[in-house]
Amino acid sequence: AQKVTQAQTEISVVEKEDVTLDCVYETRDTTYYLFWYKQPPSGELVFLIRRNSFDEQNEISGRYSWNFQKSTSSFNFTITASQVVDSAVYFCALMDSNYQLIWGAGTKLIIKP
Amino acid sequence: DTAVSQTPKYLVTQMGNDKSIKCEQNLGHDTMYWYKQDSKKFLKIMFSYNNKELIINETVPNRFSPKSPDKAHLNLHINSLELGDSAVYFCASSLRTGRNGYTFGSGTRLTVV
């Protein structure tokens, strides 16, 4: 079965700390895509990154970085030197071979000043 | 300039009423979706249309009826609203494969009283 698990329901850190959001997925497909979305308090869903199953290179975008490991079926997201504006709910999602997105339950990240 | 726009942003209505939410995208995408996000932030796909053709129809009460007049529009009509319909409804669009991710509208917060 296809499944995405975000075991951390809520994480709270103090500003400037580094924080990692975990995402573990299950799929039988050999070709698949993984995504991260951000939902800030204003409510919109913002696309952050897409990764295909053949590309295990880690990605860095400013303070954001993603660690994709097929061996552990994980696609973790790290924010370095967190800021209050990073406070949001973060969703990990898996796209299956039918092009449907399977969503994790989300991790609420609270950055305290 | 808005890529996926949905209206209204807020909708408060009484039980038993019929209401519609409109969605339009100007990205040239051929696939559109409706999602429901409950109070626990869980995202659930409701419908998906590709080039005006229904391709996903999850277990949703038949009081919910999507209508796609063209591939740039996907409206959601809800009959006989119930308290349990209160949620945030998101419209999204993508290319058919969705591999580049979905672009979401800003959401419609529906409150049934």
* CATH number of the domain enclosing A25: 2.60.40.10
C-alpha angle B78/A41/A79, rounded to 5°?
A: 130
pLDDT confidence of residue B81? 97
Q: Is B45 on the interface with A (CB under 8 A)?
A: yes
**A43 vs B100: CB contact, 8 Å cut-off?**
no
User: Domain B4-96+105-112 class?
Assistant: mainly beta
pLDDT confidence of residue B96? 80
Per residue in B22-67, pLDDT (tens digit) is 999 999 999 999 999 999 999 999 999 988 888 877 788 999 999 9
Domain housing A54: 3-112
pLDDT confidence of residue A111? 97
User: How far B100 CA sits from the closest chain A CA (Å)?
Assistant: 7
Res B101 pLDDT > 90: no
Count of alpha carbons within 13 angstroms of residue B8, beta-carbon side: 9
Pick from B96, B98, B109: which is nearest to A101 by CB?
B98
Q: Is B106 on the interface with A (CB under 8 A)?
A: yes
Determine what percent of chain B is predicted with pLDDT higher than 90.
78
A31 close to A96: Cβ distance less than 8 angstroms: no
C-alpha angle A45/A60/A52, rounded to 5°?
A: 70
Q: Is B102 on the interface with A (CB under 8 A)?
A: yes
User: How far A60 CA sits from the closest chain B CA (Å)?
Assistant: 18
DSSP class of B8:
-
User: How far B86 CA sits from the closest chain A CA (Å)?
Assistant: 15
pLDDT confidence of residue B38? 93
Pick from A43, A46, A103: which is nearest to B43 by CB?
A103
Q: What is the mean pLDDT of residues B99-109?
A: 91
Per residue in A9-36, pLDDT (tens digit) is 999 999 999 999 999 999 999 889 999 9
Per residue in A31-83, pLDDT (tens digit) is 899 999 999 999 999 999 999 998 888 888 899 999 999 999 999 999 999 99
Per residue in A82-95, pLDDT (tens digit) is 999 999 999 999 99
pLDDT confidence of residue A47? 93
A110 close to A10: Cβ distance less than 8 angstroms: yes
pLDDT confidence of residue A58? 84
Q: 3-class SS at A71?
A: helix
Total of domains in chain A: 1
